[in-house]
């Protein structure tokens, strides 16, 4: 079946018009409505069923005077704090395994959701000053998890130059990221990206002789947000070992 048969066989004709006659002259100006419709049918049969455009990208590049790359605000790791590819891969693997463990716990032991979130940032800052129990996080619904994640972003903004994430804050943040459902809501993804940027800025403000204990948590959250949650423009450059 050719294109013409397909058009005329599957589509119902709007007008009862005979097929284009054998002696049809496309160069002749239509004198009647029927001749005009014959001309339309003739023109339609000259069109290819599929049409693609051949674009010379080289010419387009010559006419592009300026390429603008939007800055992400992300600061690459100093060489002495740069994580290896192997470390990043293991970090993502461990985090993925922990998320699967969380999901299994939720299925095997469903917990009643905590009451609606009413706490202020200061109240939760006090609560998050101690490392969480797993049950503390499992009872939080997605809306509450996103709010507490946003609080963590606020608290990161208050970290002074030369300081890093406290262990207790890191434990809460890791647990919250592990409990968030995917796909992420747009505002949650935006907060996550801002968190990775802020971690990179905190890391850049550390002294050159900072210990692994100081910069490793920052590498950890940058890696999880960039690689696991697929914000690849925020991935740290890597070195091979």
Rounded to an integer, what distance in angstroms lies between the CA atom of residue 130 and that of residue 128?
5
C-alpha distance across the termini of the chain, in Å? 61
Burial 61-97 (b: 16+ CB within 10 A, else e): eeeeeeeeeeeeebeebeeebebeeebbeebbeebee
Rounded to an integer, what distance in angstroms lies between the CA atom of residue 107 and that of residue 64?
54
Rounded to an integer, what distance in angstroms lies between the CA atom of residue 18 and that of residue 105?
71
* CA distances to 40, 110, 206, 238 from 200, in Å: 64, 36, 10, 15
The pLDDT of residue 66 is 55
User: What are the tens digits of pLDDT across the range 133-183?
Assistant: 888 888 888 989 999 999 999 999 999 999 999 999 999 999 999 999 999
58 pLDDT higher than 50 = yes
Rounded to an integer, what distance in angstroms lies between the CA atom of residue 216 and that of residue 50?
55
The pLDDT of residue 49 is 64
Say if CB 115 and CB 195 are below 8 A apart: no
Q: How many residues does the chain have?
A: 241
Say if CB 154 and CB 121 are below 8 A apart: yes
List the alpha helices (DSSP H) in 119-211: 121-127, 134-138, 142-157, 167-179, 186-204
Q: What is the mean pLDDT of the chain?
A: 84
**Tokens standing for residue 37:** 């419709």
The pLDDT of residue 7 is 44
Closest CA to 215 of 97, 24, 83, 115: 83
What does the pLDDT average to over 184-210? 95
């Amino acid at each position: 079946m050719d294109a013409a048969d397909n058009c005329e066989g599957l589509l119902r004709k709007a007008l009862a018009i005979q097929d284009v006659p054998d002696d049809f002259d496309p160069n002749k100006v239509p004198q009647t409505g029927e001749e005009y419709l014959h001309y339309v049918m003739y023109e339609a049969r000259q069109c290819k069923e599929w049409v693609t455009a051949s674009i010379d990208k080289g010419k387009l590049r010559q006419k592009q005077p300026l390429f603008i790359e939007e800055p992400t605000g992300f600061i690459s790791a100093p060489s002495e704090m740069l994580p290896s590819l192997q470390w990043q891969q293991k970090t993502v693997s461990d985090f993925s395994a922990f998320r699967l463990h969380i999901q299994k716990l939720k299925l095997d032991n469903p917990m009643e959701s905590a009451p609606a979130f009413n706490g202020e940032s200061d109240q939760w800052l006090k609560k998050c000053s101690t490392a969480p129990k797993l049950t503390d996080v499992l009872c939080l619904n997605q809306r509450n998890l996103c709010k507490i994640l946003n609080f963590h972003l606020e608290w990161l903004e208050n970290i002074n130059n030369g300081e890093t994430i406290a262990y207790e804050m890191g434990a809460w943040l890791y647990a919250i990221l592990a409990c968030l459902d995917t796909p992420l809501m747009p505002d949650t993804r935006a907060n996550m990206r801002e968190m990775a940027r802020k971690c990179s800025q905190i890391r850049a403000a550390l002294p050159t002789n900072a210990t692994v204990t100081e910069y490793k948590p920052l590498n950890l959250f940058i890696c999880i947000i960039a690689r696991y949650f697929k914000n690849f423009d925020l991935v740290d450059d890597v070195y091979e070992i």
